[in-house]
Amino acid sequence: MKLLESSVLIVGVGGLGSPVALYLAAAEAIKYLLQIGSLLTNTLLVYDALDMSFRNIAINKSSDCPLCGENPTITELKY
């Protein structure tokens, strides 16, 4: 599995870096590195802190995505 296919987006109530999101990202990275368990590939994990609940939402890759699609037009980072 390519690293881009298993990347993790961390967004929380406190902006980037909420403790719960950081823990989940670390757990996902450990699973990836040790090649154990199932990864959240193509899945958006939604954490509701008020409810203390999680939801999984399936995300399908778009074939016309300019970054990861079949014919990517974004091939480098520009600063």
pTM attached to this predicted model = 0.59
Q: Cα 49 from chain centroid?
A: 18
**Sign of the C-alpha dihedral computed for residues 57, 62, 66 and 67 taken in this order:** positive
Query: Of 27, 14, 66, 60, which is closest to residue 41 (Cα–Cα)?
Result: 60
pLDDT value at 3 more than 50: no
Average pLDDT, the chain: 80
Which residue matches tokens 């008020």?
50
Helices (H) and strands (E) in the chain, counts: 1, 2
d(Cα 76, Cα 67) in Å, to the nearest integer?
A: 9
The predicted-structure confidence for 24-38, as pLDDT tens digits, reads as follows 889 999 999 999 999
